Amino acid sequence: MTSEVSSFRFHHPSRLRRSVLTVPAINDRAMEKVASLDCDAVIFDLEDAVAEDRKADARSKLLNFLQKSDLGHRECIIRINAADTPYFREDMALVLEALPNAVLLPKVEEPVTIQDVADMLGEHDAAEGLRIWAMIETPRGVLNAAAIASSGRTSDSRLDAFVVGLNDLRKATVIPAEPGRTYLVSYLMQIVLAARAYGLDVIDSVSNDFRDMEALAAECAQGRAMGFDGKMLIHPAQIEPSNHHFGPSAAAIAEARLVADAFANPAHAGLNVINIDGRMIERLHAEEATRLLAKVALITARKDKP
Ligand code: COA
Ligand code: MG
């Protein structure tokens, strides 16, 4: 039996998820690199980045790597193959042994997919901290995004984040790749809205062209403007631009300090609406400011560590 959580988890940046680098679990050399890269999270991929006849090899490389490695501040996620593939059971066994921060499920189209994996984790007494992330990357996944996100309302669902997969979505929708993602924006916004409605984080899709830094910057800025928390990345060169665009700007930090200070001022005690230089600032802006400053503190703390 699942029970409803009475209030949604406040969208608090306990974790930074600006840059979510994916690494094929078959690639030892790339895996060895990740602990020296300034990404917030790493997705070790057992799915599309690994050929069918190398899945077992990838699993053992990954387990061996994770058992001997310290990823430091980087969140560790394993992307497994879907439940209707012959690889799923063994991938899940690996997850239960490696105990990453999250398991990323590909091509999620129904809430039951989340619940089935949550049940498996529960049956194996996996700690609460082992979360579920879901790829939304098919037309049915987009159409059902709200229902899938709402499965995060049950206390044992473990659902934490959506990751958009545009390579699959473009293939299925026959929408060509083009700068600006014009005809995909409405799908992306539906996914963001569904995530926000149920307190999930939401990560934008990869950019395939990892040498085109101008295109990446534009896509990061667009993703940030659409409300994404961060971006899935395929190459180390994409980390810095993604951290920059999805991190708070200097102007946003200055504004947050101004708002937080104004509400902390005893002269404004008991007021929900105040005037700062001719602008109406509400207490909700102070909450936003606090959230942003917490993110800044996390980024600053990170800089002090290797
Ligand atoms: N994570 C960690 N290190 C990576 C990396 C990644 N995702 N991608 C590349 N690197 C490393 C390379 O190993 C290389 O290291 P080296 O100089 O010590 O050899 C360095 O970064 C430069 O790489 P580069 O030569 O520019 O590219 P490449 O040909 O080695 O790799 C890709 C290009 C696309 C094959 C590779 O980036 C990749 O596999 N990305 C992830 C793809 C993926 O997971 N797709 C599925 C989900 S969409
Ligand atoms: Mg995919």
> If you measure from the C-alpha of residue 201 to the centroid of ligand 2, how many angstroms do you get, rounded to a whole number?
18
What's residue 157's pLDDT? 87
What's residue 240's pLDDT? 98
- Ligand nearest the Cα atom of residue 44: 1
Is residue 285 pLDDT above 90, yes or no? yes
Q: Nearest C-alpha to atom 41 of ligand 1 is from which residue? A: 234
Closest ligand 1 atom to residue 167 Cα is 48
What's residue 26's pLDDT? 98
What percentage of the chain reaches a pLDDT higher than 90? Answer: 90
How many residues are present in the chain? 306
12 vs 66: CA distance, rounded Å: 28
Q: What are phi and psi of 202, to 5 degrees?
A: -145, 125
Which pLDDT tens digit goes with each residue over 10-65?
333 468 999 999 999 999 999 999 999 999 999 999 999 999 999 999 999 999 99
Is residue 8 pLDDT above 80, yes or no? no
151 vs 142: CA distance, rounded Å: 15
Is residue 129 pLDDT above 70, yes or no? yes
> If you measure from the C-alpha of residue 281 to the centroid of ligand 1, how many angstroms do you get, rounded to a whole number?
46
> If you measure from the C-alpha of residue 2 to the centroid of ligand 2, how many angstroms do you get, rounded to a whole number?
29
Q: Nearest C-alpha to atom 45 of ligand 1 is from which residue? A: 49
User: 83-106 burial string, b = 16+ CB within 10 Å, else e?
Assistant: beeebbeebbebbbebebbbbbbb
Q: Nearest C-alpha to atom 46 of ligand 1 is from which residue? A: 49
In 3D, which of 155, 100, 166, 97 has the Cα closest to residue 133?
100
CA distance to 3, 262, 295, 301, 302, per residue, from 298 (Å): 32, 23, 5, 5, 6
Residues with CB under 6 A from ligand 1: 21-24, 29-30, 33-34, 45, 48-49, 206, 234-236
Which residues of the chain are in CATH 3.20.20.60 domains?
7-246
Q: Nearest C-alpha to atom 29 of ligand 1 is from which residue? A: 235
> If you measure from the C-alpha of residue 135 to the centroid of ligand 2, how many angstroms do you get, rounded to a whole number?
7
Q: E strands, the chain, where?
A: 19-24, 41-45, 75-79, 102-105, 131-136, 159-164, 201-204, 230-233, 273-276, 279-282
Which SS3 state, helix, strand or coil, does residue 272 take? coil
pTM, rounded to two decimals:
0.94
Residues with beta carbon < 5 A to ion ligand 2? 137, 165, 168
**For the range 216-222, what are the long-range contacts, defined as Cβ-Cβ under 8 Å and sequence gap of 24 or more?**
216/241, 216/242, 217/241, 217/245, 218/179, 218/180, 219/181, 220/244, 220/245, 220/246, 221/245, 222/180, 222/181
Is residue 155 pLDDT above 90, yes or no? no
> If you measure from the C-alpha of residue 112 to the centroid of ligand 2, how many angstroms do you get, rounded to a whole number?
19
Out of 33, 65, 76, 209, mutate this one to test ligand 1's pocket (max ligand atoms within 8 Å of CB): namely 33
> 92 near 117, Cβ under 8 Å?
yes
**pLDDT level of residue 7 (50, 70, 90 thresholds):** very low
In 3D, which of 84, 17, 13, 71 has the Cα closest to residue 44?
71
Task: Say which CATH topology domain 7-246 has.
Answer: TIM Barrel (3.20.20)
> 233 near 22, Cβ under 8 Å?
yes
What's residue 3's pLDDT? 38
Residues 6+ apart with CB under 8 A from 181: 166, 188, 219, 222
Is residue 108 pLDDT above 50, yes or no? yes
User: Residue 70: is it exposed, middle or buried by C-beta count within 10 angstroms (0-12/13-18/19+)?
Assistant: exposed
